[in-house]
Amino acid sequence: MALLSRRKNSVGEMNFVDHLTELRRRIIICMIAVVVGAAVVFIIFNWLMGFLVEPYRELTDQPLIFTGTGEAFTTRLKVATYGGFILASPVVLWQVWRFVTPALNPKEKRYAIPFILASLLFFLLGAVVAWITFPRALDFLLNIGGDELEPFIAAGSYVSLLSLMIIAFGLAFEFPVLIVFLLVARVISVAQLTRWRRYTIVGVVAFAAVITPSQDPYSLLLMAVPMWVFYEVAILIGRIMHR
Protein backbone atom coordinates (compact mmCIF):
# COMPACT_ATOMS: atom_id res chain seq x y z
CA MET A 1 0.00 0.00 0.00
CA ALA A 2 2.86 2.36 0.76
CA LEU A 3 4.32 1.66 -2.68
CA LEU A 4 1.00 2.41 -4.38
CA SER A 5 0.63 5.61 -2.36
CA ARG A 6 4.10 6.83 -3.32
CA ARG A 7 3.49 5.95 -6.97
CA LYS A 8 0.27 7.97 -6.84
CA ASN A 9 2.06 11.01 -5.45
CA SER A 10 4.84 10.68 -8.03
CA VAL A 11 2.93 10.11 -11.26
CA GLY A 12 -0.45 11.67 -10.50
CA GLU A 13 -3.82 10.16 -9.84
CA MET A 14 -3.61 6.42 -10.60
CA ASN A 15 -6.34 4.10 -9.46
CA PHE A 16 -5.94 0.43 -8.62
CA VAL A 17 -6.88 -0.65 -12.15
CA ASP A 18 -4.18 1.61 -13.62
CA HIS A 19 -1.57 -0.04 -11.42
CA LEU A 20 -2.75 -3.50 -12.43
CA THR A 21 -2.71 -2.50 -16.11
CA GLU A 22 0.86 -1.28 -15.84
CA LEU A 23 1.89 -4.38 -13.89
CA ARG A 24 0.32 -6.60 -16.53
CA ARG A 25 2.21 -4.77 -19.27
CA ARG A 26 5.50 -5.25 -17.42
CA ILE A 27 4.76 -8.93 -16.87
CA ILE A 28 3.91 -9.43 -20.56
CA ILE A 29 7.20 -7.81 -21.57
CA CYS A 30 9.07 -10.12 -19.18
CA MET A 31 7.27 -13.17 -20.55
CA ILE A 32 8.11 -12.19 -24.13
CA ALA A 33 11.75 -11.75 -23.15
CA VAL A 34 11.80 -15.21 -21.54
CA VAL A 35 10.18 -16.79 -24.61
CA VAL A 36 12.67 -15.12 -26.96
CA GLY A 37 15.57 -16.20 -24.75
CA ALA A 38 14.21 -19.75 -24.59
CA ALA A 39 13.87 -19.83 -28.40
CA VAL A 40 17.51 -18.80 -28.77
CA VAL A 41 18.67 -21.51 -26.35
CA PHE A 42 16.41 -24.07 -28.06
CA ILE A 43 18.13 -23.32 -31.38
CA ILE A 44 21.68 -23.60 -30.00
CA PHE A 45 20.81 -26.61 -27.80
CA ASN A 46 23.23 -29.06 -29.46
CA TRP A 47 26.23 -26.78 -29.00
CA LEU A 48 25.19 -25.79 -25.47
CA MET A 49 24.52 -29.37 -24.38
CA GLY A 50 27.92 -30.43 -25.66
CA PHE A 51 29.44 -27.80 -23.40
CA LEU A 52 27.29 -28.69 -20.37
CA VAL A 53 27.96 -32.42 -20.62
CA GLU A 54 31.75 -32.01 -20.61
CA PRO A 55 32.20 -32.51 -16.81
CA TYR A 56 30.28 -35.79 -16.96
CA ARG A 57 32.25 -37.05 -19.96
CA GLU A 58 35.56 -36.26 -18.28
CA LEU A 59 34.56 -38.24 -15.19
CA THR A 60 32.90 -41.26 -16.82
CA ASP A 61 33.89 -41.21 -20.51
CA GLN A 62 30.24 -42.05 -21.21
CA PRO A 63 27.38 -40.18 -22.89
CA LEU A 64 24.23 -39.23 -21.08
CA ILE A 65 21.25 -41.47 -21.73
CA PHE A 66 17.49 -41.09 -21.94
CA THR A 67 15.02 -43.84 -21.14
CA GLY A 68 11.72 -42.50 -22.48
CA THR A 69 10.74 -41.68 -26.03
CA GLY A 70 9.94 -38.08 -25.13
CA GLU A 71 12.76 -37.47 -22.65
CA ALA A 72 15.17 -36.04 -25.22
CA PHE A 73 12.58 -33.45 -26.26
CA THR A 74 11.61 -32.56 -22.67
CA THR A 75 15.30 -32.20 -21.80
CA ARG A 76 15.72 -29.77 -24.66
CA LEU A 77 12.69 -27.81 -23.45
CA LYS A 78 14.05 -27.82 -19.91
CA VAL A 79 17.41 -26.42 -21.01
CA ALA A 80 15.64 -23.82 -23.17
CA THR A 81 13.43 -22.73 -20.25
CA TYR A 82 16.28 -22.35 -17.78
CA GLY A 83 18.39 -20.59 -20.39
CA GLY A 84 15.51 -18.32 -21.35
CA PHE A 85 15.12 -17.09 -17.79
CA ILE A 86 18.86 -16.42 -17.53
CA LEU A 87 19.02 -14.53 -20.84
CA ALA A 88 15.90 -12.55 -19.98
CA SER A 89 17.05 -11.59 -16.47
CA PRO A 90 18.37 -8.11 -17.50
CA VAL A 91 15.00 -7.31 -19.10
CA VAL A 92 13.12 -8.63 -16.07
CA LEU A 93 15.18 -6.55 -13.64
CA TRP A 94 14.79 -3.49 -15.87
CA GLN A 95 10.99 -3.89 -15.91
CA VAL A 96 10.92 -4.26 -12.13
CA TRP A 97 12.97 -1.08 -11.84
CA ARG A 98 10.70 0.81 -14.26
CA PHE A 99 7.63 -0.27 -12.29
CA VAL A 100 9.10 0.74 -8.93
CA THR A 101 10.86 3.94 -10.06
CA PRO A 102 7.87 6.30 -9.68
CA ALA A 103 7.60 5.25 -6.03
CA LEU A 104 11.21 6.14 -5.26
CA ASN A 105 12.48 9.50 -4.14
CA PRO A 106 15.41 11.04 -6.07
CA LYS A 107 17.97 9.82 -3.53
CA GLU A 108 16.68 6.25 -3.79
CA LYS A 109 16.50 6.32 -7.60
CA ARG A 110 20.24 6.86 -7.95
CA TYR A 111 20.81 3.47 -6.30
CA ALA A 112 18.43 1.59 -8.60
CA ILE A 113 20.68 0.97 -11.61
CA PRO A 114 23.77 0.12 -9.49
CA PHE A 115 21.66 -2.44 -7.60
CA ILE A 116 20.39 -3.96 -10.86
CA LEU A 117 23.91 -4.20 -12.29
CA ALA A 118 25.22 -5.60 -9.00
CA SER A 119 22.44 -8.20 -8.96
CA LEU A 120 23.34 -9.38 -12.46
CA LEU A 121 27.06 -9.39 -11.69
CA PHE A 122 26.72 -11.40 -8.48
CA PHE A 123 24.31 -13.87 -10.07
CA LEU A 124 26.80 -14.46 -12.89
CA LEU A 125 29.59 -14.79 -10.32
CA GLY A 126 27.54 -17.39 -8.49
CA ALA A 127 26.92 -19.24 -11.77
CA VAL A 128 30.67 -19.31 -12.48
CA VAL A 129 31.42 -20.66 -8.99
CA ALA A 130 28.70 -23.28 -9.47
CA TRP A 131 30.28 -24.37 -12.76
CA ILE A 132 33.72 -24.60 -11.15
CA THR A 133 32.28 -26.53 -8.20
CA PHE A 134 30.10 -28.87 -10.24
CA PRO A 135 32.78 -31.39 -11.37
CA ARG A 136 33.83 -32.07 -7.76
CA ALA A 137 30.21 -32.30 -6.64
CA LEU A 138 29.44 -34.67 -9.52
CA ASP A 139 32.48 -36.81 -8.77
CA PHE A 140 31.37 -37.07 -5.14
CA LEU A 141 27.85 -38.14 -6.14
CA LEU A 142 29.00 -40.67 -8.74
CA ASN A 143 31.49 -42.38 -6.42
CA ILE A 144 29.73 -42.23 -3.06
CA GLY A 145 28.03 -45.56 -3.79
CA GLY A 146 31.31 -47.46 -4.18
CA ASP A 147 32.57 -49.72 -6.97
CA GLU A 148 29.47 -51.89 -7.04
CA LEU A 149 27.32 -49.14 -8.55
CA GLU A 150 27.89 -48.13 -12.18
CA PRO A 151 26.53 -44.71 -13.17
CA PHE A 152 24.23 -44.35 -16.19
CA ILE A 153 22.81 -40.88 -15.79
CA ALA A 154 19.69 -39.70 -17.60
CA ALA A 155 20.05 -36.41 -19.45
CA GLY A 156 17.04 -34.85 -17.71
CA SER A 157 18.38 -35.66 -14.25
CA TYR A 158 21.80 -34.26 -15.13
CA VAL A 159 20.38 -31.03 -16.55
CA SER A 160 18.14 -30.54 -13.51
CA LEU A 161 21.05 -30.96 -11.09
CA LEU A 162 23.33 -28.59 -13.00
CA SER A 163 20.59 -25.99 -13.48
CA LEU A 164 19.60 -26.08 -9.81
CA MET A 165 23.27 -25.73 -8.84
CA ILE A 166 23.59 -22.60 -10.98
CA ILE A 167 20.34 -21.13 -9.66
CA ALA A 168 21.20 -21.95 -6.04
CA PHE A 169 24.66 -20.37 -6.24
CA GLY A 170 23.30 -17.41 -8.20
CA LEU A 171 20.66 -16.68 -5.58
CA ALA A 172 23.09 -17.24 -2.70
CA PHE A 173 25.50 -14.73 -4.21
CA GLU A 174 22.72 -12.10 -4.12
CA PHE A 175 23.21 -12.07 -0.34
CA PRO A 176 25.47 -8.98 -0.24
CA VAL A 177 23.18 -7.04 -2.59
CA LEU A 178 20.25 -7.72 -0.27
CA ILE A 179 22.18 -6.68 2.84
CA VAL A 180 23.47 -3.45 1.28
CA PHE A 181 19.95 -2.65 0.04
CA LEU A 182 18.59 -3.08 3.58
CA LEU A 183 21.39 -0.86 4.89
CA VAL A 184 20.62 1.85 2.32
CA ALA A 185 16.91 1.65 3.19
CA ARG A 186 17.87 1.85 6.90
CA VAL A 187 15.92 -1.31 7.65
CA ILE A 188 18.98 -2.67 9.44
CA SER A 189 22.16 -1.07 10.76
CA VAL A 190 25.84 -1.97 10.94
CA ALA A 191 25.51 -2.34 14.71
CA GLN A 192 22.80 -4.97 14.21
CA LEU A 193 24.85 -6.84 11.61
CA THR A 194 27.81 -6.87 13.99
CA ARG A 195 25.66 -8.25 16.83
CA TRP A 196 24.21 -10.92 14.55
CA ARG A 197 27.62 -12.12 13.33
CA ARG A 198 27.69 -15.39 15.32
CA TYR A 199 24.14 -16.30 14.38
CA THR A 200 24.83 -15.45 10.76
CA ILE A 201 27.67 -17.98 10.58
CA VAL A 202 25.31 -20.74 11.70
CA GLY A 203 22.55 -19.46 9.43
CA VAL A 204 24.81 -19.29 6.38
CA VAL A 205 26.06 -22.86 6.86
CA ALA A 206 22.51 -24.13 7.41
CA PHE A 207 21.27 -22.23 4.36
CA ALA A 208 24.07 -23.63 2.20
CA ALA A 209 23.39 -27.14 3.45
CA VAL A 210 19.69 -26.87 2.59
CA ILE A 211 19.84 -25.03 -0.73
CA THR A 212 22.76 -26.94 -2.29
CA PRO A 213 21.11 -29.48 -4.63
CA SER A 214 24.02 -31.92 -4.65
CA GLN A 215 24.34 -31.97 -0.82
CA ASP A 216 28.09 -32.57 -1.13
CA PRO A 217 30.68 -30.97 1.19
CA TYR A 218 32.50 -29.15 -1.64
CA SER A 219 29.42 -27.22 -2.74
CA LEU A 220 28.47 -26.43 0.85
CA LEU A 221 31.93 -25.02 1.58
CA LEU A 222 32.19 -23.00 -1.65
CA MET A 223 28.78 -21.48 -1.02
CA ALA A 224 29.03 -20.81 2.71
CA VAL A 225 32.51 -19.24 2.72
CA PRO A 226 31.77 -16.59 0.04
CA MET A 227 28.46 -15.74 1.73
CA TRP A 228 30.30 -15.16 5.02
CA VAL A 229 32.92 -13.02 3.26
CA PHE A 230 30.12 -11.04 1.58
CA TYR A 231 28.55 -10.46 4.99
CA GLU A 232 31.77 -8.98 6.34
CA VAL A 233 32.18 -6.83 3.21
CA ALA A 234 28.61 -5.57 3.61
CA ILE A 235 29.41 -4.50 7.17
CA LEU A 236 32.45 -2.63 5.87
CA ILE A 237 30.38 -0.92 3.17
CA GLY A 238 27.79 0.02 5.78
CA ARG A 239 30.45 1.66 7.92
CA ILE A 240 31.74 3.63 4.94
CA MET A 241 28.15 4.75 4.26
CA HIS A 242 27.71 5.59 7.96
CA ARG A 243 24.76 3.23 8.36
pLDDT, one tens digit for every residue, the chain (243 residues): 444 444 444 444 556 677 788 888 889 999 999 999 999 999 999 999 989 998 888 888 888 888 888 888 999 999 999 999 888 888 888 887 777 766 666 666 677 778 888 888 999 999 999 999 888 888 888 888 777 777 788 888 898 889 888 888 988 888 888 888 788 777 788 888 888 888 888 888 888 888 887 777 888 888 888 888 888 888 888 888 766
Give the per-residue pLDDT at 115: 80
Nearest alpha-carbon partner for 181 in 86, 95, 88, 97? 97
Helical axes 45-52 vs 71-100, angle rounded to 10°: 100
Give the per-residue pLDDT at 103: 61
Give the per-residue pLDDT at 28: 93
What own/partner pairs with CB < 8 Å and gap ≥ 24 does 207-213 have? 207/172, 208/172, 211/168, 211/171, 211/172, 212/165, 212/168, 213/161, 213/164, 213/165, 213/168
Upper half-sphere CA count for residue 32 (Cβ side, 13 Å): 7
Give the per-residue pLDDT at 176: 86
Spatial distance between the Cα atoms of 116 and 135, rounded to a whole number of angstroms: 30
Give the per-residue pLDDT at 107: 66
Give the per-residue pLDDT at 108: 62
Give the per-residue pLDDT at 7: 47
Give the per-residue pLDDT at 1: 44
- 10 Å CB burial of residue 195 (0-12, 13-18, 19+) is exposed
Query: What pairs with residue 154 in β-bridges?
Result: 65
